Amino acid sequence: MSIIIRQFLPYFDERPQQPQEIKALVLHCSAYSAPDMIKVLEERELSSHYIIDTEGKIYQLVPEKKRAWHAGQSWWRGMHMLNQYSVGIELSSPDMGQSDYAAKQIRTLLKLSRQIIRHYQIPVTNVVAHSDIAPTRKPDPGKSFPWQYLATKGVGLWYDLSDAAKVAENDVPTLLQRIGYDTNNLAAASYAFCRHFVPQAVSEIADIKSLEENVFPPDFVLPDEYLSILKACAYRYGLKRGG
């Protein structure tokens, strides 16, 4: 594990008095270096448990047992307001995850994530993107985040396309809900699904401000050619009942 630089921020609180099990890992990115990201979080009175810079250096901003302010309004697999239930990790990414992450950074993320998952027994279904849990608001950690690779190492879950034939359901909202998405805005949920599992369907937006202000196409409909991937994901997530 890389050396952890502890630079605690005051923007956190206790998890609720009614004990809330830590049962999710939320992965983010921001278009800042780690020192600049810390300044921005301070200015906005926000926090995350960790930041990993492009060289793989880890900054800890909040103790894991405390509730960091990183997820905001969010929902996943029956959990509302995921700050209560999660550990949050931010990654520095100059283009918000639209190009490949640095190898050192991903190696560090893998080690830290596996440690957290093992310690809290976090279900693989609950290793999520900020865009998964807040699909109308957030595009991170981006279309180039290596979800498939991480899943092979036990961080998150990927699909096997052959499983699509095992699912009779063809209704997109129902299938997205089986994975864990809030489908109140179907276009947003469908696009968030593509960010995670079908990145080739996601447009690149060079200007970061535009990317953050145009998180999803309001008229987006999941193309029919990707329905089999959605069905395969729904099957795999349906097998994993934890969380």
Q: Hey, which residues are catalytic here?
A: 90
Tell me how far apart the alpha carbons of residues 189 and 176 are, in angstroms, rounded to a whole number: 7
Tell me how far apart the alpha carbons of residues 8 and 84 are, in angstroms, rounded to a whole number: 19
Amino acid occupying residue 8: F
232's enclosing H/E stretch is helix 227-239
Is-contact 87 33, C-beta < 8 A? no
DSSP class of residue 117 equals H
Amino acid occupying residue 9: L
Is-contact 231 203, C-beta < 8 A? no
At a CB cut-off of 8 Å and minimum separation 6, what does 4 contact? 58, 59, 60
Is-contact 52 90, C-beta < 8 A? yes
Peptide bond preceding 141 in cis form (omega within 30 of 0)? yes
162-201: burial string, b at 16+ Cβ within 10 Å, e else: ebbeebeeeebeebbebbbbbbeebbbbbbbbbbbbbbeb
